[in-house]
């Protein structure tokens, strides 16, 4: 049976404030789907509407093809793991995980085997007899996840499930969550404001802005083909040069035409990712885009270097891969050209 989720024209208002403004979304069976956006854009509200804790003024919520818009939260075939994952402090890890199944009055043997299975997949077997206060933050978060997973909901809703963890543990848990999701084969809907997290884990991402859907797509699609400046800025780093769009690209004052596929006219930006920009000392003659400037600084980003170049009244970032660092790295104060192939240009509206 289908375990997909569908939101149709959801509107949620608080008084005169519209928190969700006519959002429609389809989430496929067994998909790992992320809702991404800045603080206050409506992610939690949308998740709570899906779970049934908020009632929308307009729209329909379907789970597995069934209209659940007016169904109580506990009767919906989904499970919400809250931001604060309250575990019972006096119960062992095992009992915490078993609790939901005991409430359902399942046979003891079945409870035991399901709990053992989920503890193993969350790598918690060795902590089964510990109390929550004898665990690390990451282990506690895994218990909360195991508790949600053991009930085998068709859809698991996770609100910032990794927010409490430090960077390293968060990265480990991202992979673990992804592994658990593909093992268990349920639909995951995760809320995050962390673009990297969404890119690593999700099959598809919906970017929300002020209660509206800005763009929905696979991580690579959003990264390579952002439909707006907002998405381009929110996912990864993007350089923008403002000007006037023509059919060949964008005419930038003081620079001239920078080429790129364009369907726009009027005020627009030409955008290019830092990893697509190469720095040269000579102007290219092969038709690539080139913007003259001066190196402002060189910064370490992990193993790569990033040069910031003052050019065309703005700052252009150019990523220099570690493999090329052995070659001559430009120095601050040095005049350079920021060069890229027109195919890596994106022509986007100004807002
Ligand atoms: P964050 O990442 O900070 O958790 P979010 O994207 O999850 O943010 P929501 O919590 O969904 O944002 O809130 C969306 C908007 O709705 C915010 O502007 C918030 O102030 C407003 N809002 C949420 N709940 C209520 C409420 N009960 N009454 C009035 N306004 C609310």
List, for residues 104-119, the tens digit of each pLDDT value. Answer: 899 999 999 999 988 9
- 240 vs 324: CA distance, rounded Å: 25
Enter the pTM of the model. Answer: 0.85
Confidence of residue 168 (pLDDT cuts 50, 70, 90): confident
Domains of the chain (ranges; CATH) run 3-224 (3.40.50.300), 237-349 (2.40.50.100)
> Residue 253 pLDDT more than 90?
yes
The 10s digit of each residue's pLDDT in 283-336 is: 999 999 999 999 999 988 777 889 999 998 899 999 988 766 666 788 899 999
The mean pLDDT of 23-33, rounded to a whole number, is: 94
Distance from Cα 40 to the centre of ligand 1, integer Å:
5
Answer whether 45 contacts ligand 1 (Cβ < 6 A): yes
pLDDT at 134: 93
Cα 42 to ligand 1 centre (Å): 6
- Pairing state between β 266-272 and 346-349: antiparallel
Is-contact 226 199, C-beta < 8 A? no
Decide if 342 contacts 272 (C-beta within 8 A): no
Distance CA 61, CA 253 (A): 49
Atom nearest to 191 CA in ligand 1 = 7
Ligand 1: which of 45, 49, 160, 191 to mutate, judged by most atoms within 8 Å of the beta carbon? 45
Ligand 1 pocket check for 161: Cβ under 6 Å: no
pLDDT tens, residue by residue, 55-111: 999 999 999 889 999 999 988 888 887 655 678 999 999 999 999 899 989 999 999
Confidence at 3, pLDDT banded by 50, 70, 90: low
- The answer for residues whose C-beta is within 8 angstroms of residue 311's C-beta and 6 or more apart is 291, 292, 293, 294, 338
| Mean predicted confidence (pLDDT) in 137-151 | 85
**Better pLDDT: 128 or 120:** 128
* Mutational pocket test of ligand 1: of 42, 57, 157, the residue with most ligand atoms within 8 Å of the beta carbon: 42
By alpha-carbon position, which residue is closest to atom 18 of ligand 1? 40
Q: Residue 302 has what pLDDT?
A: 74
Predicted pLDDT of residue 184: 77
């Amino acid at each position: 049976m289908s375990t997909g989720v569908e939101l149709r024209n959801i509107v949620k208002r608080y008084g005169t404030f519209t928190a969700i403004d006519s959002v429609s979304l389809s989430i496929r069976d067994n998909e790992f789907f992320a809702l991404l956006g800045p603080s206050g854009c409506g992610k939690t509200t949308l998740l709570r509407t899906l779970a049934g804790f908020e009632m929308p003024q307009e729209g329909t919520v379907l789970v597995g093809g069934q209209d659940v818009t007016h169904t109580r939260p506990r009767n919906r075939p989904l499970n919400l793991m809250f931001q604060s994952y309250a575990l019972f402090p006096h119960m062992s890890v095992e009992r915490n995980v078993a609790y939901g199944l005991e409430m359902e009055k399942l046979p003891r043997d079945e409870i035991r085997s399901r709990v053992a299975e989920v503890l193993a997949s969350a790598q918690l077997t060795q902590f089964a007899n510990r109390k929550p206060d004898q665990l690390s933050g990451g282990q506690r978060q895994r218990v909360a996840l195991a508790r949600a997973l053991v009930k085998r909901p068709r859809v698991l809703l996770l609100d910032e499930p990794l927010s409490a963890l430090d960077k390293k543990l968060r990265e480990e848990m991202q992979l673990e969550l992804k592994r658990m999701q593909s093992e268990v084969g349920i639909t995951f809907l995760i809320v995050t404001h962390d673009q990297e997290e969404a890119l690593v884990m999700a099959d598809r991402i919906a970017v929300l802005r002020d209660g509206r859907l800005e763009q929905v797509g696979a991580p690579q699609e959003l990264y390579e083909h952002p439909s707006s400046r907002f998405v381009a800025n929110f996912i990864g780093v993007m350089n923008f040069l403002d000007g006037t769009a023509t059919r060949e690209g964008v005419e930038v004052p003081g620079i001239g035409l920078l080429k790129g596929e364009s369907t726009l006219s009027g005020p627009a930006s030409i955008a290019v990712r830092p990893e697509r920009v190469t720095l040269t000392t000579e102007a290219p003659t092969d038709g690539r885009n080139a913007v003259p400037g001066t190196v402002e600084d060189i910064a370490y980003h992990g193993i790569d270097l990033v040069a910031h170049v003052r050019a065309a009244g703005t700052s252009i970032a150019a990523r220099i891969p570690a493999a090329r660092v052995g070659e001559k790295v430009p120095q601050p104060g040095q005049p350079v050209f920021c060069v890229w192939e027109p195919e890596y240009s994106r022509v986007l509206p100004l807002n």
